[in-house]
Amino acid sequence: MGDNNMYFEDLGEDSSDMDLADLEEFNVGEEKNVTNDGGVKKKVLKKGQGYKRPEKGDKVFVHYVGTLLDGTKFDSSRDKGDPFTFELKAGRVIKGWDEGVATMTKGELCVLTCEPQYAYGDRGFPPTIPANATLQFEVELLSWESTKDITGDGGIIKTVVEEGKSWEQPKDKDEVTVEYKIFHNKEEVASSPQGGIEFVAGDEANSDCVIPAFSKCVTTMKKGEVAKLSIQSPEYGFGEAGLAGKVPPGAKIKAELTLVSWKSVKMVEETIEMKLLVEQEGYQKPNEGSSVKVDLVGKLEDGTVVEEKAGFEFVTDDEQVIRGLDKVVMEMKKDEKVLAKIPPEHAYGSSGGLDGKVPADATLVYEVTLKEFVNAKESFEMDAKEMMEAALKFKDKGNSYFKKGDYEVAIQKYEKAVKYLEHDSKYTEDEKSAAKKVKIACWNNEAQCGLKRKDYAGAKKRCDKVLKVDSQNIKGLYRRAQSYIGTKDYLEASTDLKNALLIDPGCREAKLEMKRLLKLQADKNKKDKKLYANMFSKISFSDHKAEPAKETEEEGEGGCQKGCCGGQEEGERAEEENAGDACQAECCSHP
């Protein structure tokens, strides 16, 4: 490469006034503005390859021929025989170049016309370029090297020397395969074996990645990408230990890194680790209720095989297999192969299973290949009858999980049931009425699950949905009152319970909840009274030798005389009122 030409050195900071993302397509032979003010124009002579353009900080390689408007040539890299290189948008060249080259693709040939404010202005560049001259440059973008500060502190500078394929990049926890060479003082000190090495991306402390820089960089790379790394901070290299006999302690090093491939790892249901061994194209995956066929091998963590099946068929989300296996299969595409690590809460739990082969609280590792699947109908494919049947099926599943105490999954099933009934344009009036009842039942059941989980805000939200469509629903009022009690909003809870008892004065559970509420309120009042009495006592002792504090205590001895605070008299009265008939409404305490 030739040295930077004298015309293009240190000409000021980047002054871009145009968002390159908004640039329209430049067609061959058509001249268009590059900048908003028209100070830089571009005419494409030959299209480049692809759509990628160099970015700020990239090292670009170009050939150019510079002329005045009368055709006088003042400079040419072609005449010198070497391409010209510079750092884009770093103020190393005239502003017109920073703007124009940033719009080019690899291999593109164009003419950039730069008005004086984007060239040499009123000073010119004597003797070849007069003041206030508009210049034209025939520019060919040969290539560029993308340079990034990976760590943000200059510790690792990465330069892409060969672009990778596609747009995907590995994520933290993915298992990557790389090839590498490491250099110190231009001498190779380490390299990967044939076929490369494997390590977990993002796990810098793991020695499998050789040096921390590799683990940090791979998540910025694409498959097949080759990058040069300048590792300035020892912590990202061999550290203070160095490499025996080859790299001294605390030394800066360089490396060449190639991302060969990776196996994607993702978390399903937060705790199931799923590693993709064989990937397939497409996007279709089994849904809930799909008929699937799989090959599988299940093992304990020590490698003991506990289950092995070929061509095994089951229906997803139908409790025919452990829940973890259900969830994994619904994340797969046809002919994909995965390795899934399933914790006990998604396997056989504390009881164990498979006729004693799986001990209690065992984590299982399944290798699964999805051979075939047929998806269940989606709601938009169903008629009204089918949607109602599907909704009732998921409601029943929710009830089943509720009885097992798995409230989180129960909520998911109730929500799925409601989704089938959200769009009722296909329904008759009778069908709409039936759908409304099912939705109300599901929302009420979701609220009960929320109460069991002490998710009072979630429970209230579900009750609000119920009461929006049926303001007289006793379950909705009762459970919302319980939600308010959970958040210590006693006034709102009292209102809901009173409304429930107005609708059904004989509702035993609402009466019992009112009694509990009054006791809670009375206890709170006593605590508040004691708190404020102590507070006033301290103030009075300081200002009036404790006399007002004594008065405060005397005033409080009789309790609230109006019965508005849920004190002793009100509580006794409520206890008498609570005797009566059992609740006439549907049971309020369970689905």
382, 280, 370: which is closest to 328 by C-alpha? 370
Is it the case that residue 403 has pLDDT exceeding 60?
Answer: yes
The pLDDT, as a whole number, for residue 538 is 62
Mean pLDDT of 201-221: 90
The catalytic residue among 7, 26, 61, 64 is 64
401 flagged as catalytic: no
Tokens of 303: 């490698």
94 flagged as catalytic: yes
* Amino acid identity for residue 311 in this structure: G
Express as a percent the part of the chain with pLDDT over 90: 73
The catalytic residue among 84, 94, 125, 174 is 94
The catalytic residue among 7, 86, 120, 427 is 120
d(CA 21, CA 166): 20
**Residue 92 has what DSSP assignment?**
S
Contact 200, 175 (CB under 8 A): yes
Instruction: Give tens-digit pLDDT for 537-546.
Output: 665 545 544 4
64 flagged as catalytic: yes
Q: What are phi and psi of 411, to 5 degrees?
A: -60, -45
Go through the domains of the chain in sequence order and give each one's CATH number: 6-145 (3.10.50.40), 150-263 (3.10.50.40), 267-374 (3.10.50.40), 384-453 (1.25.40.10)
Inter-helix orientation angle 474-486/429-452, to 10°: 20
The pLDDT, as a whole number, for residue 539 is 59
Please report the sign of the dihedral spanned by the C-alpha atoms of residue 345, residue 350, residue 354, residue 356.
positive
Q: What are phi and psi of 246, to 5 degrees?
A: -125, -40
The pLDDT, as a whole number, for residue 267 is 94
d(CA 141, CA 159): 18
63: which strand partners?
140
The catalytic residue among 7, 125, 137, 401 is 137
The catalytic residue among 75, 98, 317, 455 is 75
75 flagged as catalytic: yes
The catalytic residue among 74, 312, 314, 536 is 74
The pLDDT, as a whole number, for residue 547 is 46
Close Cβ partners of 187 (under 8 Å, ≥ 6 residues apart): none
The pLDDT, as a whole number, for residue 525 is 87
Does pTM top 0.85 for this prediction? Answer: no
467, 317, 469, 169: which is closest to 481 by C-alpha? 467
Q: What size, in residues, is the chain?
A: 591
Contact 227, 255 (CB under 8 A): no
Is it the case that residue 175 has pLDDT exceeding 90?
Answer: yes
d(CA 117, CA 96): 9
d(CA 454, CA 579): 29
Question: What is the SS3 assignment for 315?
Answer: strand
Mean pLDDT of 184-200: 95
The kind and range of the H/E element at 374 are strand 364-374
120 flagged as catalytic: yes
Assign residue 242 a region (left: φ > 0; alpha: ψ between -120 and 50; beta: otherwise): left
Mean pLDDT of 549-578: 35
